[in-house]
Structure 1
Amino acid sequence: MKKPLRIGRGQIGALFIDFQEEHRQDARYLVEHYGAVLANAGRLHAAARRNAAPVYHCAYVVDMAEFSAALHPVQPDGRSAFSDKNDPLTAVCHEVAPGPNERLLVKNQASAFGAGSVLGAQLKAAGMPWLAVCGVWTEACVAASVQDAIRLGLRVLLVKDACGSGSGAMHQTGILNLANRLYGGAVVDTGAACRLLDGQTVDAWQVQGAVPLRYTWADAAELYRAL
């Protein structure tokens, strides 16, 4: 259900998840409509900067020498099958590259709040009850980060069109799954997110009840558009 939402200045930070070149250049891990997703993330980044909102970036980088997950996929030469530390395509895309006073957190697992991450502690120290979240892939690293943020007691502002995945279906169902359990948070598009960062009031989709979005193959896209 959409309801009016306003977030006070100084009450929200922004998290940019895994906007890396491999999703633009590596044929195995291309994100559909990545250019549009990056453009929207860039708009959100600019809104956060002009409102002095804390900005956090993370990148998935795997060092197999320090990685003990026995089932992690590897290439024949022993390097990680994706996001290997020696792959230049792990670089963050220039459209949303960290600026001055914006820290890049490197992770080797899906969630930005996983073991060894300092992000949760930094957000608590900053006193930010809200966190705007965007990134790739929607159903993987974005979903894991959103779920962990909720467990930490953060209110997540999920910016649906500044997220992306390997296909539209993967992305849209990923957003719907998160929306069903986005307790205390909201789903918006980039325009609404920027207005919220500017201190304005917007109509935002906010979860009510248990699993309200019982989507099917026939209506998933329509329900996604209505968020």
Structure 2
Amino acid sequence: MTVGPHGGPFTGRLGWGSRPALLVVDMVRAYTEPDGPFALPEPGPALTACASLVDAARESGHPVVWTVVRYARDLADAGLFVRKVPALAVFAEGAAGGWGEIAPPLAPAPEETLVVKQYASAFLGTSLAPRLVTAGIDTLVVCGVSTSGCVRTSATDALSAGFRPMVVREACADRSAGLHESNLADLDAKYADVVSLDEALTHL
């Protein structure tokens, strides 16, 4: 499947702004390790691509923002989400396995922002939007997992918050190739610009 350009009303492009930041969405061990509760079939390429984006952003002095899902020990802050997806309980405080840890070789630097969230979007109930506004950010380069879940929702909410979401196709992954591609196509049609890794590296 080829992503964009699209016919009918879906022909617009957001384009790059002048001040990008990188958003690394939920790239944690639960998705990248073979025995993880949300294990992806082939996480390696996306993990490598995310590492390349992080390196490029750091070298150019662009902000890098990380997200993780964390819940209270009793899951009181998990709402209906954990009822719909019970496996999310692995992200509760004190849960065994360390599945919520950032997947190596990735690791946030001490000065980088770590957004702790309870739902799919990096924006819902967090301080991400005002942090980006204060830093003068106009473009959000999005990578991580999963394409159909937290990446999609975060990119959609980025657009709603006034940022240009650039979703890097090689740096995202999902539980099937079909789900990954169909969500990239829909994002590119309506909510974000889906870009190649090479394009993102050039702008970072």
1:32 matched residue in structure 2: 41
**1:126, CA displacement in angstroms?**
0.7
* Corresponding position: 1:178 with 2:187: yes
CA distance in 2, matches of 1:139, 1:71: 16
Partner amino acid, structure 2, of 1:143: R
Is the partner of 1:29 in helix, strand or coil?
coil
Contact 1:113 1:145 in 2 (8 A): yes
What is the CA deviation profile of residues 157-198 of structure 1, one whole-angstrom value per residue up to 9, with x for unaligned ones? Answer: 11111001111111111111111113xx5221212110111x
TM-score normalised by the chain length of structure 2: 0.84
* Corresponding position: 1:128 with 2:137: yes
Structure with the greater alpha carbon radius of gyration: 1
**1:192 corresponds to which of 195, 199, 202:** 199
Contact 2:90 2:99 in 1 (8 A): no
**Correspondence list, 1:87-98, <5 A:** 87=95, 88-98=98-108
4+ residue stretches of structure 1 with deviation over 4 A? none
Partner amino acid, structure 2, of 1:73: R
Provide closer, same or farther for how the CA distance between residues 7 and 81 of structure 1 changes in structure 2, counting only shifts above 3 A: same
Contact 1:20 1:89 in 2 (8 A): yes
Unpaired runs of 5+ residues, structure 2, are 6-10
TM-score normalised by the chain length of structure 1: 0.76
Is the partner of 1:135 in helix, strand or coil?
strand
- Judge which range, 95-104 or 11-20, deviates more: 95-104
What is the CA deviation profile of residues 17-46 of structure 1, one whole-angstrom value per residue up to 9, with x for unaligned ones? Answer: 000001123443112311111000000000
* Corresponding position: 1:17 with 2:25: yes
**1:84, CA displacement in angstroms?**
2.7
**Correspondence list, 1:135-154, <5 A:** 135-154=144-163
CA distance in 2, matches of 1:82, 1:170: 24
**Identical-residue share of aligned pairs (%):** 26
- Judge which range, 18-27 or 145-154, deviates more: 18-27
